[in-house]
Amino acid sequence: MKTIQLALLGLMLCLASVALAQTPEPNLKWGKPTDAELNMTTYAPDPEAEAVVLCSQTELRYDLSSGSFKLNTYTKKRIKILKEEGKDHANGGISYIYNGHQSGECEILAKLKATAFNMVNGKLVKTKMENDMVNHEDVTKTLRLTKFTVPQVTVGTVIEVEYEIDSDYFYDIDDWYAQEDIPVMYTSYDVIVPGFVSLHIDEHGSHRLARKIEPTNMSMDVGYDKGILQCSGTHYWFIGHNLPALHKEKLLYAPLSYGQHITMELNAIQIPGREAKYYTSDWNDVDKGLLDDHDFGGRLGENPLKAEMQKADVASISDPKERIMAIYRLLKDRVKWNEKYTLYAKSADQVLNEGSGSNASINFILINMLRDAGFEAYPAVMRSRNKGFLAIKRATIKEFNTFVVAIKVGDKFSYLDGSIEDGWLDVLPDHLLVDRARIVSKDKQAEWVDLRGVSESKSRSMISGELQADGTLQADIQTKYTGLEAASLRHDFRMATDSATFVSKLAQELNCEIESLSLTNHHGLGPEAERNMHVTKQYDAAGDMIYLNPWVMTVMSENPLTEEKRTLPVEFPYLYADNLTSEITLPEGYVVDELPKSLMIKSQDGKLSCVIVSTTDGSTLSSTCQIQIGRLFFTPKEYPFVKNFLDEVYKRLQDVIVIKKAP
């Protein structure tokens, strides 16, 4: 036995040696990949990886020329393409603040280079990116995205990319991310800070980086008559090795937010002989910056639809929520959403002339219309869930990327957004259901609000059916939807080519024949919707046995959580409650062979729960299913329970109950 154990140990060590041999040592030289990098076919720590970052180096430097501060960031990255799908990493994008080189603060992208290295017939072929492979896209009035494509990329290619960003925003340092959506073999963040610059530095994530800190000497031109200032400084290195990929997990909005990253906040600059300048701001400063901005606060007050509001007599609608939605309908009849979420807006006249606009452009017109109708309405600025969580400790406008409209109804706020096509008041798209949005106003104190629970999304289904001895089921199914569930039904109907296509797709999903179908409140805007249908479904029948699933329609198509372990949290899209009742009359002379066990499962706080029960009186099979998702966020420690919960629910919803002929 001992001999066998030693042999197995030797085999394992041998396999480990082979795997390690497939992973080259980090190559910190640029311009010529090593043979090991060129010949690499897999990345041992993650054999399924489509590509791997072999080396990534970022340098951050404060530059002071004639007394004017700048922040210089220089990035170099080498990527190995391992699989066909990894070729997408030949397409890159760099975002930066841009003002068309007008006067004022901006960021300049410089020294952008990209090269592909390939082994062709035993020789290294080097292909550089040409200028026509680079294009620029103005995402907002201040944000530019430069896109590029590295040429001649195939499986086995090594890519090198380098670029520099010179920024006037020395007081607002971008976060540095050590992890990416592919594994990172080696990464470093090299930062030199002058002694007269005070920074607050934080590291986030579960894969701690190696850290090295050393004093250094610096020479800087501060604009003195004598020119050069000799000063001390601090040199920081943050280094990561073999960091795992942050995959796009299901039930997770922004994996990058949970990866290893460094944040830096400028506290103060105190140049010898000059008055100290303090840069730490609070959220009140951010509020003021937004409200003073021409394309944010400057858009408050523009209501070119005042005459149309009077003509439509919206003031006569007594119910406040109905009056709000009448105003929203009036606006949406004039302006369509262009499927863009922004923070800043165009002028109201320009938006109306074009007939479309971003959610921000629509929202500002809506705010002004609501105010003219006597409502208190304000922007509630946020960082949408797909952009990562908002770092509330660091007050900066850059944390926000859009806003919704907060409307005072009675003694509390309700919410609406210009992107809504199928919903209702308080029915926001799931990526806008953030835990922190900030209501800003010129005449009242700003406040943080939690939007995760503003919408109650529910579905309630009642199934009444009659089972035949050949396994045929005739059933009436009535389903009532509220909140985002109702919006989803209306969206599906709106996106269908026609009603016949809608019915055909639904029949395919339910695996049945739909004999008749009627919808209520299935288009436009509304808080609720209803679907009624009569269906025929064929179940397996053999001899005197019928194999029946009592739910008839698909309640849960799969468990989205398949990994046994997970290091990232779980985020459900919205709060949800489902109530399903099934009453099926059995064929004459048939009985239930055996009822499945009841399922009762819930989290410790009761926010995640399910109850499934089936009973019979001999001639009828009665089943109920109640599912509640009362919390959106679950930590990695809670993952085993959440996965098991979904496993159990999915398994029980697939239960087949045997119906047999009575003896």
Q: For residues 113 and 148, what is the distance between their CA atoms, to the nearest angstrom?
A: 10
Please spell the DSSP secondary structure of 414-444, one letter per residue. EEE-TT-SS--TT---GGG--S-EEE--SSS
Per-residue pLDDT, 380: 98
The per-residue pLDDT for range 488-523, each reduced to its tens digit, is 999 999 999 999 999 999 999 888 999 999 999 998
Q: How far apart are CA 365 and CA 363, in angstroms?
A: 5
- Residue 32 has what DSSP assignment? S
Highest mean pLDDT among 2-16, 216-230, 231-245, 556-570: 231-245
Closest by Cα among 216, 214, 574, 598 to 423: 574
CATH architecture of residue range(s) 458-661: Sandwich (2.60)
User: What is the mean predicted confidence (pLDDT) over 424-445?
Assistant: 95
* Count of helix runs (H) and strand runs (E) in the chain: 10, 36
- pTM, two decimals, is 0.86
What is residue 270's predicted lDDT score, i.e. its pLDDT?
Answer: 86
pLDDT at 535 over 90: yes
The model's pLDDT over 349-406, given as tens digits with 9 standing for 90+, comes to 999 999 999 999 999 999 999 999 999 999 999 999 999 888 887 788 888 999 999 9
CATH fold, domain 284-449, is C8orf32 fold (3.10.620)
pLDDT of residue 100: 60
C-alpha closest to that of 464 among 390, 550, 398, 338: 550
Q: Among 574, 578, 370, 364, which Cα is nearest to 454's?
A: 574
State how far the Cα of 556 lies from the Cα of 177, in Å rounded to an integer: 36
Q: How much is the mean pLDDT over the chain?
A: 90
| Ranges 19-33, 165-179, 225-239, 548-562: which has the least confidence | 19-33
Is 579 a residue whose pLDDT tops 60? yes
DSSP string over 128-155? EPPGGGEEEEE-SSSEEEEEEE-SS--T
Which two structure tokens, joined as six digits, stand for 131?
């200028």
Q: How do beta strands 437-439 and 377-382 pair?
A: antiparallel
Residue-level pLDDT at 622: 97
Task: For 436-478, write each residue's pLDDT tens digit.
Answer: 999 999 988 999 999 999 988 999 999 999 999 999 999 999 9
User: Alpha carbon of 139 to those of 145, 336, 385: distances in Å?
Assistant: 7, 19, 19
Read out DSSP for 233-292?
EEEEEEEEEEEPP----TT-S-GGGGS-EEEEEEEEE--TTS--EE----HHHHHHHHHH
As a whole number of angstroms, the longest Cα–Cα distance in the chain is 109
Task: State the fold for domain 34-278.
Answer: Immunoglobulin-like (2.60.40)
Question: How do strand 412-416 and strand 513-520 relate by DSSP bridges?
Answer: unpaired
DSSP state of 162: E
At 225 the pLDDT is 55
Q: Answer yes or no: is pLDDT of 10 > 80.
A: no
| N-term to C-term CA, the chain | 58
CB under 8 Å to 650, separation ≥6 — which residues? 556, 558, 559
Choose the weakest-confidence range: 252-256, 272-276, 402-406, 465-469: 272-276
Domain boundaries, the chain: 34-278, 284-449, 458-661
- In this prediction, residue 328 carries a pLDDT of 97
